[in-house]
């Protein structure tokens, strides 16, 4: 434990918040909780106190939660209100389930447009402006600012714009700075995508090679 406590107790307006470390072993954690409450037995006596337990990233089943409750309950005046873990990262959201949302807007310097899903923006993104999306970003207009597609971690997300002059492009965790890394002066529409963890540009007309899942009724 190298001397650092894995339990932090904070006083808030509603009562006490127990912040439990999410890295250490669960049994160690219980022992320490035990020790801590025993040590402070006198100080913690008094009127009824509501206790909120925060587990950080640790996920516990009902049985283990009950063990925490039992330890805290031993301190007569403590009432455990909640035992919570941080919400699970959004990995759970399925990329294929994202819906397309259409917005008509000018994203100017200092403004941020955020959306959960795919976004079709009818308008420009100016330098200093940001568009952030968990899915794809399609811009019918000029992209001169920053665009971040797949911001929840989806590396298959793409960014397409009628005029591709971004300050910075981000897909998932990859950041790319034109024109240091690439420059676009092509007359056709382009899109940015990730290939082997690096930002790539291609003609938009090539997109269907990688995304041909939709059945098309083509004339014979």
Partner 1 sequence: MGEAIVVTSGKGGVGKTTTSANVGTALALLGKKVCMVDTDIGLRNLDVVMGLENRIIYDLIDVAEGRCRLNQALVKDKRFDELYMLPAAQTKDKNDISPEQVRKIIEDLKPDFDYVIIDCPAGIEQGFRNAIAGADQAIVVTTPENAAVRDADRVIGLLEKTQIAPPKLVINRIRPSMLRNGDMLEVDDICQVLAIDLIGIVPDDEVVIKAANQGEPTVMNPNSRAAIAYRNVARRILGETVPLMHLDEKSGVFRRVRKFLGMG
Please provide the DSSP assignment of 19-34 as one string.
EE-SSS-HHHHHHHHH
Does 75 bind partner 1 (CB under 8 A)? Our answer is: no
What burial letters (b/e) apply to 8-18, b meaning 16+ CB within 10 Å? eeeeeeeebbb
Does 184 bind partner 1 (CB under 8 A)? Our answer is: no
Angstrom CA distances, 151 to 106, 116, 135, stand at 21, 9, 7
Give the phi and the psi of residue 26 in degrees, each rounded to 5. -65, -40
User: Are 22 and 59 a contacting pair, CB within 8 Å?
Assistant: no
> Where does this chain touch partner 1 (CB under 8 A) — which range of 72-80, 83-91, 119-127, 131-139?
119-127
For the segment 140-159, give every residue that binds partner 1 (CB under 8 A): 142, 144
Nearer to partner 1, 7 or 105 (CB): 105
Nearer to partner 1, 25 or 114 (CB): 114
> Where does this chain touch partner 1 (CB under 8 A) — which range of 75-83, 88-96, 104-112, 184-192?
104-112
Does 111 bind partner 1 (CB under 8 A)? Our answer is: yes
Nearer to partner 1, 45 or 103 (CB): 103
Angstrom CA distances, 132 to 90, 110, 123, 177, 219, stand at 15, 13, 15, 16, 38
When binding is defined by CB under 8 A, the residue of 56, 76, 127, 179 that contacts partner 1 is: 127
| Positions that interact with partner 1 (CB under 8 A) | 106, 108-111, 124, 126-128, 142, 144
């Amino acid at each position: 434990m190298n001397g650092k406590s894995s339990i932090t107790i904070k006083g808030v307006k509603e009562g006490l918040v127990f912040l439990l470390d999410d890295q250490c072993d669960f049994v160690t954690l219980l022992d320490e909780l035990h020790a801590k409450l025993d040590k402070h037995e006198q100080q913690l006596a008094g009127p009824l106190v509501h206790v909120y337990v925060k587990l950080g990233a640790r996920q516990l089943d009902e049985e283990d939660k009950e063990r925490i409750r039992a330890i805290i309950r031993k301190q007569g005046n403590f009432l455990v209100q909640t035992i919570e873990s941080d919400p699970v990262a959004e990995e759970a959201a399925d990329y294929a389930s994202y819906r397309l949302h259409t917005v008509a807007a000018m994203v100017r310097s200092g403004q941020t447009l955020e959306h959960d899903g795919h976004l079709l923006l009818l308008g420009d993104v100016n330098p200093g402006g940001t568009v952030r999306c968990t899915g794809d970003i399609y811009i019918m207009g000029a992209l001169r600012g920053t665009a971040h597609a797949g911001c929840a971690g989806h590396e298959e997300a793409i960014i397409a714009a009628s005029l591709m002059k971004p300050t910075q492009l981000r897909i998932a965790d990859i950041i790319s700075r034109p024109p240091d890394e690439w420059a676009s002066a092509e007359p056709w529409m382009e899109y940015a995508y990730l290939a082997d963890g690096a930002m790539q540009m291609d003609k938009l007309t090539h997109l269907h090679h990688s995304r041909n899942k939709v059945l098309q009724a083509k004339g014979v």
